[in-house]
Structure 1
Amino acid sequence: MLDGSNLKVNLERIKTDILTLAEIGQSSEDRGIYRMAFTDADMQAKQWLSQRITDAGLHYSSDGALNLSAELRGSTDQPRVLVGSHIDTVPCAGALDGTLGVIVGLECLRRMHEAGIEPQRTLELIAFSDEEGRFGGMFGSQSFAGMINPERLATMKDLDGVLLQDELRRHGHDPFAALEAARAPDSIACYLELHIEQGPVLDRSHIPIGIVDEITGLFTWSVWLRGEANHAGTTPMEMRNDAFMGLADFAHEVPRVLEENGSDRSRATIGKVQILPGAANTVPGLVEFSLDVRDTSEGVLEELSSAFRKALSAIARRRHLMFEFEQKSFITPVACDTNVVEALIKQTQQLGLDYQTMPSGAAHDAQIMGGIVPIGMIFVPSKNGQSHSPAEWTAWSDIEAGANVMLQTLRYLSQC
């Protein structure tokens, strides 16, 4: 059996795969990629990927959630090592989010197969379905992790009201087969994922590799501040119950709450606002807005939740408003496995690459997988921190560096 310690990825083949896959679902108007989960474009991409797996001489399979797998089979039946990400996109996407992790994973298995390296543990690439959330997010990895039930399958729908079960049936698939996609956690040694950072830290620091130590948790709220709509000309300022002024007060409170109750990894964003009645000559009587709060500590998230509630309550009392909120989602933070992180760092150092440990401020399939198995993540720089747009890009040299770290880490972990 070959050692493989000097094995490198084929960057030209990675380039070809990325650029070819980018053409599937790409708009000729804005150059964005529209490959949302289970659309015709997504299904075409799945077919393309399945053919690439077969062409590589790897064992291909898919499950009831339409997750696609490629296997480089090992010499033992020890728990396997997984590598993966997703190939579905947001509307008007770039070429790398999710796709990069799948293409790099395929290249790693392909190179080891070509080199005649037989791992002790089976290596499996998995391309998860619907990470981007057309039907709520993480459908493929949640199915894999046993987090899907019949009620959810029957009710999951997209923003246009299309039911997941109808979309799967349209393509000839039984939606309830997703219940059979769950894997036994003890059959898996660990899961690794390579991803673009989707932020500016590595790019601005000119560092090619990020080793993720924690993946952020988050909660999102819909918040309502109810005052009294009234005439903008006849209602004195001191007699107004102006809902928008309550929001303005709260927006200025956000930095204070983060400073007093958060950490250096805390984030809070008011990303969507609706003001009603919405007339230029009317005092706003109702404001509805979103609040997205993130941190890598569940305890810190709880403190921030309490602090934001108190701040909103105090503002509502002061402004004579009614305050209501509804929690729309909560995702628990996940720590990457210490042993996997150490393996990633070791392989990065042996390749002579600069790196930094860092949190992931975005959710990934790794976050779901971290609930059942040890995980690790590699980040590569995003040019100008841009993602979820046609401007999303990473230098080929950085992609090559990250891919070689993944290749050597998979080789190492598959022999442990």
Structure 2
Amino acid sequence: MHVNLERIKSDILTLAEIGRHADDRGIYRMAFTDADMEGKRWLTQRIESAGLQASVDGAANISAIRAGTSDSPRVLVGSHIDTVPCAGALDGTLGVIVGLECLRRIHEENVSLRRTLELIAFSDEEGRFGGMFGSHSVCGLINPELIATMDDLDGIKLADEMHRHGYEPLAALEAARDPESIASYLELHIEQGPVLDHLKKPIGIVDEITGLFTWSVWFRGEANHAGTTPMEMRKDAFMGLADFAHEVPRILDENGSPRSRATIGKAQILPGAANTVPGLVEFSLDVRDTSEDVLRELAESFRKALSAIARRRGLMFEFQQKSYLQPVQCGGELVEELTRQSERLGLEANRMHSGAAHDAQIMGRMVPVGMIFVPSKGGQSHSPAEWTAWSDIEAGANLMLHTLMSIADQ
């Protein structure tokens, strides 16, 4: 049995037009915008037209149900359809469309399976309101205070947007599932990186999902005249940042692992005048690894380096942790089942970790999870240039189909 690639193509291309801007061809379907709600309505219609049962929970997660023959814990498959601003057509969306196609094909062929299959399209995976709201809700990781205070970069509150679209925000608390009711969660996603494209392999089987922490860091020195302040008498905050940037590779080599990443992605220099020695630098630090122990060691090493640089340069430093996500191990049995099915289908697969966060990372706190990656052309994502060859999409979709049928009949 195989997926219907033409139907997958049609669904992807149709959904891509919801929220697309004509000027830059990017998709703007951010969580709880009008475009996102239109996308949810479209998805619901596609579920119902396939003869599947559609439902929505208090967090606005959209589900499709294909009932099994027993009341055994169900198997979930899914991702998200919300986007970042100026997005491409596949991030998140591909996993939802492929999950829907798998349920459709099983339903069309009247395949009898013991476990109920459920497609779930989670709300706000991209974090418009600061976190993966849909999957956090399903895992019971939200509370009334969070719901009331979550807002976006423009200060718009999640609760207000939910009210605007007819949702009661506190109903998201009722979206929490009993872990005993779910056997496992599977997700297909574009890699969003260059590895599979470089290796010319159609499939990635994820064994670990990276954890991460993000800091805001400040070096405070002394703003002064660029012409009259001797070099040896300066307390130049920017030079502190420059020193630290050169320390990052050394710290990763000495304290990290081959799966460690560290990025200074944003910096602000104040006062920001060409003729003034910088008195303050604020910058971000994003650190990732698949081991919680390694993350702790990296955090301590970065803190010591910042302290030593500040002391040497006559600066003050402080930092604030903005976010933390635990690394997640994918379910060993799911990884092995994905490997068996890829071999059976003659698909060359690469065992790899995910360097990006996904809904699977949140679900992995509660149930065993598995992930399939398909190649991203040039490693590009979060842009209109994001793309994956249709043949690779078909390979990933067929792997998902046969894996779902196998684990749903166990």
Distance in structure 2 (CA, Å) of the matches to 1:22 and 1:45: 9
Distance in structure 1 (CA, Å) of the matches to 2:131 and 2:353: 21
Aligned amino acid, residue 251 of structure 1 = A
**Structure 2 equivalent of residue 3 of structure 1:** none
SS of the residue 2:283 aligns to: strand
**Structure 2 equivalent of residue 393 of structure 1:** 387
User: How do 1:68-147 residues align onto structure 2 when only pairs under 5 Å count?
Assistant: 68-147=62-141
**Structure 2 equivalent of residue 148 of structure 1:** 142
SS of the residue 1:313 aligns to: helix
Residue pair 1:93, 1:390 contacting (<8 A) in 2 also: yes
Q: Which blocks of at least 5 consecutive residues in structure 1 are unaligned? A: 1-6
User: How do 1:315-394 residues align onto structure 2 when only pairs under 5 Å count?
Assistant: 315-394=309-388
**Structure 2 equivalent of residue 179 of structure 1:** 173
Aligned amino acid, residue 58 of structure 1 = L
**Structure 1 equivalent of residue 296 of structure 2:** 302
Cα distance, 1:278 vs structure 2: 0.3
Aligned amino acid, residue 407 of structure 1 = L
Q: Root-mean-square deviation (CA), in Å?
A: 0.4
Q: Alpha-carbon deviations, 1:318-348, whole Å to 9, x = none?
A: 0000010000001000000000000000000
Q: TM-score, normalised by structure 1?
A: 0.98
**Are 2:280 and 1:286 equivalent residues in the alignment?**
yes
**Structure 2 equivalent of residue 4 of structure 1:** none
**Structure 2 equivalent of residue 10 of structure 1:** 4
Distance in structure 1 (CA, Å) of the matches to 2:265 and 2:100: 36
SS of the residue 1:268 aligns to: strand
**Structure 2 equivalent of residue 38 of structure 1:** 32
Distance in structure 1 (CA, Å) of the matches to 2:241 and 2:182: 47
Aligned amino acid, residue 14 of structure 2 = T
Distance in structure 2 (CA, Å) of the matches to 1:213 and 1:62: 30
**Structure 2 equivalent of residue 54 of structure 1:** 48
Percent identity between matched residues is: 76
Residue pair 1:73, 1:118 contacting (<8 A) in 2 also: no
Cα distance, 1:119 vs structure 2: 1.1
Distance in structure 2 (CA, Å) of the matches to 1:353 and 1:171: 43
Residue pair 1:257, 1:308 contacting (<8 A) in 2 also: yes
Distance in structure 1 (CA, Å) of the matches to 2:101 and 2:166: 30
Distance in structure 1 (CA, Å) of the matches to 2:180 and 2:171: 22
**Are 2:196 and 1:207 equivalent residues in the alignment?**
no
Q: Which runs of 4+ in 1 moved over 4 A?
A: none
**Are 2:409 and 1:405 equivalent residues in the alignment?**
no
Aligned amino acid, residue 216 of structure 2 = S
**Are 2:186 and 1:192 equivalent residues in the alignment?**
yes
Cα distance, 1:131 vs structure 2: 0.2
Aligned amino acid, residue 332 of structure 2 = T
Cα distance, 1:77 vs structure 2: 0.3
Q: Which blocks of at least 5 consecutive residues in structure 2 are unaligned? A: none
Cα distance, 1:172 vs structure 2: 1.1
SS of the residue 2:145 aligns to: helix
Distance in structure 1 (CA, Å) of the matches to 2:217 and 2:307: 11
**Structure 1 equivalent of residue 22 of structure 2:** 28
Aligned amino acid, residue 322 of structure 1 = M
**Structure 1 equivalent of residue 221 of structure 2:** 227
Cα distance, 1:182 vs structure 2: 0.4
Aligned amino acid, residue 271 of structure 1 = G
Cα distance, 1:118 vs structure 2: 1.8
Cα distance, 1:27 vs structure 2: 0.3
Distance in structure 2 (CA, Å) of the matches to 1:76 and 1:186: 15
SS of the residue 1:199 aligns to: coil
Distance in structure 2 (CA, Å) of the matches to 1:142 and 1:378: 21
SS of the residue 1:378 aligns to: strand
Q: Alpha-carbon deviations, 1:37-70, whole Å to 9, x = none?
A: 0000000000000000000001111100000000
Distance in structure 2 (CA, Å) of the matches to 1:342 and 1:147: 29
SS of the residue 1:61 aligns to: strand
Distance in structure 1 (CA, Å) of the matches to 2:131 and 2:26: 20
Aligned amino acid, residue 368 of structure 2 = P
Distance in structure 1 (CA, Å) of the matches to 2:162 and 2:264: 34
SS of the residue 2:114 aligns to: coil
